[in-house]
Amino acid sequence: AQSVTQLGSHVSVSEGALVLLRCNYSSSVPPYLFWYVQYPNQGLQLLLKYTTGATLVKGINGFEAEFKKSETSFHLTKPSAHMSDAAEYFCAVGTGNQFYFGTGTSLTVIP
Partner 1 sequence: KAGVTQTPRYLIKTRGQQVTLSCSPISGHRSVSWYQQTPGQGLQFLFEYFSETQRNKGNFPGRFSGRQFSNSRSEMNVSTLELGDSALYLCASSLRWGLAGGQETQYFGPGTRLLVL
Binding site for partner 1 (CB under 8 A): 31-32, 34, 36, 41-46, 49, 51, 90, 93-104
Of 29 and 83, the one with the shorter C-beta distance to partner 1 is 29
Of 34 and 63, the one with the shorter C-beta distance to partner 1 is 34
Which residue, among 58, 65, 63, has the nearest Cα to 84 in the 3D structure?
63
State the CB neighbour count (10 A cutoff) for residue 50: 19
In DSSP terms, 100 is beta-bridged to: 93
As measured in angstroms, the least distance from the Cβ of 51 to partner 1 is: 4
As measured in angstroms, the least distance from the Cβ of 93 to partner 1 is: 7
